[in-house]
Amino acid sequence: MPVIGFLHPASPEPFARLVAAFHEGLHEAGYFEGQNIKIEYRWAGGRDDRLNDLAVELVDRQVALIAAVGGMRSAQAAKAATTTIPVLFISGSDPVQAGFVASINRPGGNATGVGMDTTEMIVKRLEMLREFIPADTKIAMLVSPQPIAERFETEFAEKIGMLVLNIAAGKEFDQAQYERAFDTARKNRAGALLISADPFFTDRRDVIVGLATRHGLPAVYPYRQYVVAGGLASYGPDIVEAYRQIGRYAGRILKGTKPGDLPVQLPAKFEMVINLKTARTLGLTVPRIMLARASELIE
C-alpha cells in the first residue's frame, strides 16, 4: 500500500475543510485512505523551524510523494529534503522564479502543483478595501517575514506606502506580538488593514479578526475562513479547489505519471466573501456593486 506524505506549516483544525478537499481529489483518482493508500500527516503548528525536520521524517518514511502544501515554506523544506520523491506544492509566488520548476507547462524535476499570483491578489484586495473607506485612509498590511520567493508582498506594501506590520514566524504563539502590531497601526493612524496570504496567519485568524474588530479596523483577508470567523471581507482563489487538484495530481503520480510532466495549474475560480454583520458593526455601507459581485454574503 503506497504512503503519501502530507506536510503543512500550520495546525490541522483550521484546515480540516481543505484536507477533505485533498481527499476528494484522491477519491476522483480511485484512492481512499485506509483502503488502498496510507497518509502520513506532519503539521508544524505554526512553527516554520520544524518544517525541515518534518520533511526529513517523511523522506525517511520512504513515502511515494509529498504533498507540501500551505505555502512555499513547506515546499522548500520538502525540496531540500529530497530530489527524487515527487513534491506537490500550492504556491503563492511564481514557482519558476522561485526555482521550483523549469516552466509552468513543463515543470521538469520532481515538483509540480498549483501556482497563484499573489501580487494580483493583493491589488484586488486593496481595490476592494478602498471601496469601504475614505480615499485618504492610511492602510496597514500584516505580513510575516518570508523566504525571498514570497517577500514581494512586503516589497509591494512598502512601494505603495502602506504601513508594514511584521509578525515573526517560526516561534510559539505570542499574543503580545499581535497586540503590539495593532498598537503600532493605531499609533501610526492606520484606518484599515490588509492581511497577507500566509497559513501562519490563517492558523491564528481568530486572534487577528478579534484585534481588527476591537480596534475598529476594516480589513480584507485572503480567504473565506477569516470572514466566517467574523472578518469583514475576503478575496482570493478558490483554495478548496487547489487542494482538490493536489489530490488529483497525487493520484496521477501514484499511477505512474512523472511530476515533471504535469503542468503547474493556475486557479480559474475566485471568491469574494463579505460579512454583512461585521460591516454593520463597523458602521460601513457595502456598495451595491460589491453585493452583486460577492460569491457569498454572511449575515
Buried b / exposed e across 226-242, counting CB within 10 Å, b at 16+? bbbbbbbbbbbbbbbbb
User: Quick one: fold of 118-236+271-298?
Assistant: Rossmann fold (3.40.50)
Is 276 in a helix, a strand, or coil? helix
Place of cell 500566509: 198
- C-alpha cell read off for 282: 463597523
Average pLDDT score over the chain = 91
Q: Is the pLDDT of residue 63 over 60?
A: yes
Q: Is the pLDDT of residue 257 over 80?
A: yes
Q: Is the pLDDT of residue 17 over 70?
A: yes
Q: Where are the beta strands (DSSP E) in the chain?
A: 3-8, 38-43, 65-68, 87-91, 111-115, 138-143, 163-166, 190-195, 219-221, 233-237, 270-275, 296-298
State the pLDDT confidence band at 149, using cuts at 50, 70 and 90. Answer: very low
Specify the pLDDT at position 148.
Answer: 45
Q: Is the pLDDT of residue 118 over 70?
A: no
**pLDDT tens profile 259-284:** 999 999 998 889 999 999 999 999 99
- What's 37's DSSP letter? B
> Where in the sequence of the chain do the CATH 3.40.50.2300 domains occur?
3-116+239-268, 118-236+271-298
- Alpha carbons 25 and 175: distance in angstroms, whole number: 36
CATH code for the domain defined by 3-116+239-268? 3.40.50.2300
State the pLDDT confidence band at 55, using cuts at 50, 70 and 90. Answer: very high
